[in-house]
């Protein structure tokens, strides 16, 4: 049975890394002693080692040991034997490309469907959708496929921002971009606002956090899903 948390972001404005998610993470990773962290999404600013150390600092509060996936000689075996897995944020194109290079995408799918507890933030959440096509990230690398894990029956737009009708920005809004996506693609899209996350237990998907989520389906008007409600298509 799937046990997954998919968060829009790792960090809320003015807060420490993962602070707002800690109560949910503590429950989600109950009885977990060791966790495998996937650091591949960061293209710069933090090395894989430093990114893993940053995560370890947070999980020290939960008495959970963190090991970076890059530290294992056999990353496939590491994922298959993991008590729990966390994929951090960064650039989704880079994350997908790195997972594909190492033949880890099908492995990750298998362990998630078999019940290994998983936490994703930002890019780590995007890869749990059907494809990564609704990411906000720039295509800094060219992955062999946009297809991702498919742990949920839709795509995710992390960091979803509502249109600012009083602002001066004249570029496309997130809603416009998602509607463009639906001109050529049928999977639904969940716009996750900052401070919101999805809890997946088996086939049940519940929205949690501070805000509603914006739900987009092809050939239909977008609608809002309230926090605490179950997402059903």
- Residue ranges covered by each domain of the chain: 3-225
Rounded distance between C-alpha atoms, residue 220 and residue 117, angstroms: 34
pLDDT at 131: 98
CA-based radius of gyration for the chain: 17
Cα separation, 9 vs 192, whole angstroms:
9
Q: What is the DSSP letter of 21?
A: G
Q: Sign (positive/negative) of CA torsion 51, 72, 28, 7?
A: positive
pLDDT in tens, the chain (233 residues): 999 999 999 999 999 999 999 999 999 999 999 999 999 999 988 999 999 999 999 999 999 999 999 999 999 999 999 999 999 999 999 999 999 999 999 999 999 999 999 999 999 999 999 999 999 999 999 999 999 999 999 999 999 999 877 777 767 899 999 999 999 999 999 999 999 999 999 999 999 999 999 999 999 999 999 999 999 98
- The separation between CA 158 and the C-alpha centre of its own chain, rounded to angstroms, equals 8
User: Which are the catalytic amino acids?
Assistant: 122, 137, 159
CA distance 25 to 32: 11
pLDDT of residue 108: 98
Q: How far is CA 208 from CA 104, 146, 149, 167, 216, in A?
A: 29, 27, 22, 29, 18
CA atoms within 13 A on the CB side of 213: 32
Q: Cα(221)–Cα(168) distance, rounded to whole angstroms?
A: 25
> How open is the CA angle 97-127-107, to the nearest 5 degrees?
75
End-to-end CA gap in the chain: 20
- Position 166 scores a pLDDT of 74
pTM above 0.85, yes or no: yes
CATH fold, domain 3-225, is Rossmann fold (3.40.50)
Give me the pLDDT at residue 79, please: 98
The Cα 74–Cα 10 span in angstroms is: 27
Secondary structure element (H or E) that encloses residue 132, with its range: none
Task: Give the pairing type, strands 3-7 and 196-201.
Answer: antiparallel
């Amino acid at each position: 049975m799937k046990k997954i948390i998919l968060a829009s972001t790792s960090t809320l404005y003015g807060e420490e890394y993962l602070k707002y998610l800690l109560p949910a993470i503590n429950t989600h990773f109950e009885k977990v002693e060791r966790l495998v962290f996937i650091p591949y999404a960061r293209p710069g600013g933090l090395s894989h080692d430093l990114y893993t150390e940053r995560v370890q600092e947070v999980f020290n509060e939960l008495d959970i040991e963190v090991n970076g996936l890059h530290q294992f000689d056999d990353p496939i075996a590491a994922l298959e034997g993991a008590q729990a897995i966390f994929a951090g944020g960064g650039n989704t194109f880079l994350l997908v490309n790195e997972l594909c290079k190492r033949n880890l995408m099908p492995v990750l799918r298998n362990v998630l469907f078999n019940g290994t507890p998983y936490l994703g933030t930002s890019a780590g959440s995007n890869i749990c959708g059907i494809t990564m096509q609704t990411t906000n990230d720039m295509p800094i690398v060219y992955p062999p496929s946009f297809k991702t894990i498919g742990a949920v029956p839709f795509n995710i737009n992390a960091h979803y921002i509502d249109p600012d009708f009083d602002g001066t920005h004249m570029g496309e809004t997130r809603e416009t971009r998602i509607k463009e996506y639906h001109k050529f693609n049928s999977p639904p899209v969940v716009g996750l606002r900052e401070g919101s996350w999805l809890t997946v237990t088996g086939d049940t998907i519940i929205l949690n956090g501070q805000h509603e989520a914006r739900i987009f389906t092809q050939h239909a008007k977008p609608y809002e899903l309230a926090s605490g409600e179950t997402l059903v298509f």
